[in-house]
Chain A
Amino acid sequence: MSERNLPFIQVKDLSSYYGDREVLRKINLTINAGEILVIMGGSGSGKSTLLKNMLGLMTPVKGEIRFNELNMCQANKKELFKLRRSMGVAFQGGALLSSLSVGDNIKLPLRQHTNLDENTISIMTRLKLELMNLAGFEDLMPSELSGGMLKRAGLARAVIMDPKILFFDEPSAGLDPVTSVELDELILKLRKAMNMTIVVVTHELESAFTIADRIAVLFDGELVITGTVDEIKNCTDERVTNLINRTPREVQIDGEKYLKRLTEGAA
């Protein structure tokens, strides 16, 4: 087995709740080293919650998440710190610190975690900005960037420490088709250049089919299928075909309940 096919992240029997509401039910998922896995699903399917659990921003109620051999849910502070230093996360809106310039945002992890001198840090930052087509924008403030530029700047910050794994939340959301394609190409370029494992959360079909090695489809908190692009396209499960064919969910109205709700309080 080549290193590329070794399991890098393993999600086992993961369940997660918001209050009493179960948002993830017994998720089992393996992400192999070096692959691009796309987590796909409609709104409210639980994909962002799954991502938050994998990032350690939420603690699962049941189940576990393993990075190589480390169980993230039982890791101590030191282990979590080490793990997070090997991760890069690009958030949906960029999540750049609004009080820092674009350049300072990208330099932040290097300044906090390394003893590199300012010159080296500046060179590394410029390299990453070039890679993201953002050369010359380092002195601007985040409020001066467009949505697509914010995402690319967030991506530059996420990869500045050369992480082993990159998480990308909704890369195409809210972007025009051209910028969206540019970002897809950037993700593929990053994998090729830095040989990293990439997990992308999206609901954009075209984007998922372009970049994914494998796709995991979530529906109402359940993992329906994990497979290659062809396997997903040929899947006969109604929930997957509805997602691929963009079929709207049927609204089922319980007549009695509807009437009761309408007349409640009227008496």
Chain B
Amino acid sequence: MFTAIERLGTSVIQSLEEVGRMTQFLYRVVISIFGRPFSFNDLLKQIAFIGAKSMPIILLSGLFTGMVLALQFYDALSRIGSSALMGSAVATSLVQELGPVMTALMLIARIGSATCAEIAIMRSEQQFDALTCMAINPYRYVMAPRLLAAIISVPLLTAIYNLVGILGGYIVGVLFKDLNGAAYMQTIIDAISWSDLRMSVVKSMLFAVIIIWISMGKGFFVHYEKGVSGAEAVSRVTTKAVVSSAITMLFVDYIASSFLI
């Protein structure tokens, strides 16, 4: 009985410690953005890594999501004789919800895991100690460009995902199901408001911060992993980073939706 309570207490304390560490970590990264010298080259490199190199998976997943959504909505709407509204249904669900969430999930898989593993290996190989000893702030040099690049890239990738999804819906609706193309586009223009677009941008920015923050933080604190070290510790924190990012992202999605709808 006492052992169970003791274990519970220990895990609560450890979780609180981790939350504290991660919050302090984010604070240091944000503060370091304003430090000098800031390397725009590094920022561009990270934008290329997070943004440009993610384009293929964003294009493919966006296209198929839009096509599947169109099939589902066509089937449901045609039963009540409203298949003409398919365009607005596809666009609204993409812009408000599926675009930001699916883009974030794709980026967690591609960027989150890679960033976490890279940072964890840098930590294990004393690269952060080396930066500190060279009087170079690791938060500014390594973390800040990644955070900024994510905040810039993720909303853009989300917008591309939404557009490609709408195109996927067009292909299914207009080319396969013989809906009127102009009507498809017009229902989208009528249905999507500025507040929908704002929701998409706000959510994608929040998700960008969550993905990169958790991935970098988990990697940076790899030495806190108990009972493991080296490759096993890197693999464990990478898994944790992916799972934590996804769950936190979905939780924040609910909170953001409840405020923004």
Residues 192-247 (chain B) with a chain A CB within 8 angstroms:
none
**Please, how many angstroms separate the alpha-carbon atoms of A88 and B99 in the complex?**
49
Q: Is the CB of B126 within 8 A of A91?
A: yes
Q: Is the CB of A97 within 8 A of B122?
A: yes
What 1/0 flags go to A105-116 for Cβ under 8 Å of B? 000110011000
- Which one, B130, B135, B136, contacts A95 given CB within 8 A? B130
Residues 71-111 (chain A) with a chain B CB within 8 angstroms:
80-81, 84-85, 87, 89, 91-93, 95-99, 108-109
- Which one, A57, A92, A93, A98, contacts B133 given CB within 8 A? A57
Which residue of chain A lies nearest to B124 when distances are taken between CB atoms in the complex? A93
Q: Is the CB of A98 within 8 A of B130?
A: no
Q: Is the CB of A95 within 8 A of B126?
A: yes
**Please, how many angstroms separate the alpha-carbon atoms of A170 and B54 in the complex?**
41
Most-contacted residue by chain A among B118, B132, B133 (CB, 10 A):
B133
- Which one, A56, A87, A89, A95, contacts B125 given CB within 8 A? A95
Is B14 close to A, CB under 8 A?
Answer: no
Q: Is the CB of B127 within 8 A of A112?
A: no
Q: Is the CB of B127 within 8 A of A113?
A: no
Closest chain A CB from B153 CB (angstroms): 18
Is B134 close to A, CB under 8 A?
Answer: yes
Is A55 close to B, CB under 8 A?
Answer: yes
Closest chain A CB from B135 CB (angstroms): 4
Most-contacted residue by chain A among B125, B134, B141 (CB, 10 A):
B134
Q: Is the CB of A89 within 8 A of B130?
A: yes
**Please, how many angstroms separate the alpha-carbon atoms of A99 and B121 in the complex?**
12
**Please, how many angstroms separate the alpha-carbon atoms of A224 and B58 in the complex?**
63
Which residue of chain B lies nearest to A52 when distances are taken between CB atoms in the complex? B129
Which residue of chain A lies nearest to B129 when distances are taken between CB atoms in the complex? A57
Is B37 close to A, CB under 8 A?
Answer: yes
Q: Is the CB of A91 within 8 A of B122?
A: no
A-B contact pairs, 25 of them (CB 8 A): A55-B129, A57-B133, A80-B135, A81-B135, A84-B132, A84-B133, A85-B135, A87-B133, A89-B129, A89-B134, A91-B126, A93-B125, A95-B125, A95-B127, A95-B129, A97-B122, A98-B118, A98-B121, A98-B127, A99-B118, A108-B134, A109-B134, A109-B136, A154-B130, A157-B130
Which B residues are within 8 Å of any A CB, using their own CB?
37, 118, 121-122, 125-127, 129-136, 141
